[in-house]
Amino acid sequence: MELSWNWWTALSHCSRMLWHPVMRRLPSRVSMQPFWWERIDAAFLVGAMPRKEGMERKDLLAANVKIFKSQGKALDQYAKKTVKVLVVGNPANTNALVCSKFAPSIPKENFSAMTRLDQNRAQGQIAQRLKVSAADVRNMVIWGNHSSTQFPDASHATVTLDGKTVKVTEAVNDDAYFGGEFISTIQKRGAAVIAARKLSSAMSAAKAAADHVRDWWNGTPEGQWVSMAVLSDGSYGAPLDVMFTGEA
């Protein structure tokens, strides 16, 4: 992997186990030059027009088509055909679809959009309510799209309480909560973050991206699943040829 000086320095400070194969590169400017794309195994596409207070993800669409069209073309021309592409920049589902359309030589199943932040938020909400670690909450699913149209689903989620695994819905025992406040809180969480800090999520989004690619790369333990947006094959009644979020 080749990185600009700023990224190289920041990552070196993390002292992570996978640091060894990362190499430093000092280009004069960020560009679509081949060396940015040729050797990558995983592409994290985070460069999008930032979402501001009062904006929905759809408001970013026009500005981002140009960005993800150019990135798709660069991937198509230079990247390995095995590269896994995670789109983080919002509206992530649509941006991922645009990017894939302009990279026809890369398999469509190699493109995904990040819903893991929404999943992590949902699991965090349950963890706070039950006073457990978020790691004890599993199998939360986000369905559909991002933002205000997503559907966080706890019906199959489990939680470990006192050494026993039980259904989240049974542990919380509040149908009204799951049918109302739980859903609206997750749907509006991104807007709430922007209203509070005048910027979109940063650290939590980076953590979610790392979680997403780790599980995409390595798979999940038997009986566990995560949420990510992939190109629909018609499963769950979703329309074909759209990026649809569900369990993976």
Catalytically annotated residues:
146
Cα(210)–Cα(89) distance, integer angstroms: 14
Compute, in degrees rounded to 10, the torsion defined by CA atoms 16, 19, 24, 30. Answer: -60
| Tally of residues, the chain | 248
Cα(34)–Cα(37) distance, integer angstroms: 5
The alpha carbon of residue 27 and the mean position of all alpha carbons in its chain are separated, in whole angstroms, by: 28
Cα(186)–Cα(126) distance, integer angstroms: 11
DSSP H helical segments within 134-202, as ranges?
Answer: 168-172, 175-179, 181-187, 189-197
Q: Apex CA 217: angle with CA 212 and CA 221, to 5°? A: 80
DSSP-derived secondary structure letter, 25: -
Cα(209)–Cα(4) distance, integer angstroms: 19
Parallel, antiparallel or unpaired: strands 2-3 and 23-24: parallel
Question: What is the token pair recorded at 145?
Answer: 């799209």
3-state secondary structure of 230: strand
